[in-house]
Amino acid sequence: MTTPRLRLGIAGLGRGFMLLLPTLAAHPGIRLVAAADPREDARRQFAADFAAATYAEIAELCADPDVEAVYIATPHQFHREHVELAAAHGKHVLVEKPMALSLADCQAMIAAMRRAGRWLMVGHSHSFDAPYLRTRELIDSGDFGAVRMIQALNFTDFLYRPRRPEELDTTRGGGVVFSQAAHQVDIVRLLGGGRATSVRAITGSWDAARPTEGAYGVLLNFDNGAFANLTYSGFAHFDSDEFCGWSGELGQPRDPHQYGRARAQLAQVHSAEEEAALKNTRTYGAGLSLANSGLEGITHNHFGFVVVACDRADLRPSPQGVQVYADTRRYLEALPPPAIPRREVLDELIDAVRHDRAPIHSGEWGLATMEVCLGMLESAATGRDVALSRQVGLPQHAALR
């Protein structure tokens, strides 16, 4: 018997939705039935693209009886409110990373979904990407011994892409710790087994015109004795896609001759209002639609350069698969190119809702990642290690599907 497609409503038609749009439209197990956004042009475009209902308010979307699950892609500070709305109407939820801006909000979201008896998932983070799931599968095989050390490094132009004012204010969820560490910490926790014990961090805020964290260095310890070094810079100089064969974060080919483009474009902007308007040109309904959101990925998504050191091999997830550096030989555990990039996010959601299969990226998992991210900020402020107490391990099915 054919499994019915999951009827999904979208809360927020901004940049997060635009990145996942081609996957949502192409996935055979998903049907987009409704969306909510305060922008009339976005609602009009969604209705045209999907012949679906649209609403100006999230509450109206959550009350729609045709919606089974809600993808919450609203700004960070609204995640708790919107998850609680969805829970009150008995909807399953996929909420964008970062889960929330405080552990209290994360806990309230989990509690609301438990009371509703519905699944809560957090994503999409890059820990859903097939190369990292395949690396975890190789670790679980036992062929290479225990994980001892993880190195994760990513250098991008993140801080110099067009931003709204709150995205440059850490107290309002801005900066690379909330938006980018949520990816990198998720990946490292997946590869390290999930249960981190302490974090030590230093952050960098080096441009007065972009007054938030643009870089960090982190030491993360795990209960199994493994440790991880995490490095991130969004200052738009070196680009670590160079280490990934110039395959971009979303699997698209990168042109190294475009060096300096982000900074050059931003230099033409003279006010916060102009910058916010420039960002809006990259969102759905403001000139962007389903028609120009193709499945651009030629290789798998990734989040920079990662190496997992095990007893008998080093494992390096890459856009093409997993490079294995074993005791006596080096080889590639190749993955076929993705037919639908980022589909693993929706596969996990469908597995939970349709087959009652506990997801890796549960609310508890998302809370544990945010505990690390908030611990990074605390450690950077105090100069001390921060102990972690809300960590969770991996479900037994963490292998690639």
The string of pLDDT tens digits covering residues 28-80 is: 999 999 999 999 999 999 999 999 999 999 999 999 999 999 999 999 999 99
The string of pLDDT tens digits covering residues 169-202 is: 999 999 999 999 999 999 999 999 999 999 999 9
User: Tell me, what's the pLDDT at 292?
Assistant: 81
CA atoms within 13 A on the CB side of 55: 17
**Banded pLDDT at 398 (limits 50, 70, 90):** very low
The string of pLDDT tens digits covering residues 288-313 is: 888 887 776 689 999 999 999 999 99
Name the amino acid, one letter, at 281.
T
* pLDDT > 70 in the chain, percent: 98
- Number of structural domains (the chain) is 2
The CATH number of residue 82's host domain is 3.40.50.720
Q: The pTM is what? A: 0.95
Residue 394 falls inside a structural domain: no
Q: Are residues 121 and 167 in the same domain?
A: no
Residue 299 falls inside a structural domain: yes
The 3-class SS string of 266-310 reads: HHCCCCHHHHHHHHHCCCECCCECHHHCCCCCCCCCCCCEEEEEE
Residue numbers of the domain that contains 82: 6-126+342-362
Residue 401 falls inside a structural domain: no
Q: How crowded is residue 186: how many other Cβ atoms within 10 Å of its Cβ? A: 30
3-class SS of residue 21: helix
User: Would you give the distance in Å from CA 122 to the centre of its chain?
Assistant: 8
**CA dihedral sign of residues 302, 307, 308, 314:** positive
Residue 135's nearest CA partner among 347, 332, 327, 316 is 316
Q: Is the pLDDT of residue 400 over 50?
A: no
Residue 393 falls inside a structural domain: no
